[in-house]
């Protein structure tokens, strides 16, 4: 009985680790698509009932906003700290709270000494803010669809100056 319990704990732990790895890969793929101005590629990682908040905007409503933003930024990089998803007990949904910075590539190259990779989102945001300005704070809600994680909701919670 004790061995069965240990095996179950191990399997649940491995599942959460695999989910975390998949969610981190999802964010990397979406960021890569964004940097390529590939809006369809970004939405390949969203559920059909995706909504952006505030306002419960659908994919069709968000696409032109992304197009205008990307066109205005030109060549840019998507920067964010390590992703630490909160996965539900049933393993079907997850929440990711993360600051995200869209920085023009030229600005990033000039500010290479900024701290980029950190497990502490607040320290990361402070380092990025000093070099590039306020990141946007997001709360993403994800759903597992046919064994793959997809973004279900994106909530913009503001910038430091708005919080």
Q: What is the pLDDT of residues 84-134, one digit of tens each?
A: 999 999 999 999 998 888 877 666 555 554 445 566 777 777 777 667 667
Res 118: pLDDT: 63
Q: Confidence band (pLDDT; 50, 70, 90) for 44?
A: very high
Q: What phi and psi, each to the nearest 5 degrees, are found at residue 114?
A: -70, 140
**Number of domains present in the structure of the chain:** 1
| Rounded average pLDDT over 45-54 | 92
| Rounded average pLDDT over 46-60 | 90
Q: Confidence band (pLDDT; 50, 70, 90) for 17?
A: low
Q: Confidence band (pLDDT; 50, 70, 90) for 81?
A: confident
pLDDT exceeds cutoff 70 at 48: yes
In this structure, the strands spanning 93-104 and 76-79 are: antiparallel
- First-to-last alpha carbon distance for the chain, in angstroms, is 50
* Containing structural domain, residue 115: 2-159
CATH number of domain containing 98 = 3.10.450.50
Rounded CA separation 83/118 (Å): 10
Res 101: pLDDT: 80
Res 77: pLDDT: 82
Q: What is the pLDDT of residues 68-78, one digit of tens each?
A: 888 888 888 88
């Amino acid at each position: 009985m004790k061995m069965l319990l240990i095996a179950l704990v191990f399997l649940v732990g491995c599942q959460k680790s695999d989910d975390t790895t998949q969610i981190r890969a999802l964010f990397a793929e979406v960021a890569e698509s964004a940097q390529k101005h590939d809006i369809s590629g970004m939405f390949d990682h969203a559920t059909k009932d995706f909504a952006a908040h505030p306002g419960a905007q659908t994919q069709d409503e968000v696409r032109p906003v992304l197009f205008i933003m990307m066109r205005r930024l030109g060549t840019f990089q998507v920067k964010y700290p390590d992703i630490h998803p909160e996965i539900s007990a049933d393993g079907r949904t997850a929440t990711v709270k993360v600051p995200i910075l869209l920085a023009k590539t030229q600005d990033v190259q000039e500010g290479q000494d900024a701290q980029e990779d950190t497990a502490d989102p607040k320290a990361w945001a402070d380092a990025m803010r000093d070099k590039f300005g306020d990141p946007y704070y997001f709360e993403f809600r994800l759903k597992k669809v046919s064994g793959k994680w997809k973004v279900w909701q994106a909530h913009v919670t503001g910038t430091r100056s708005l919080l």
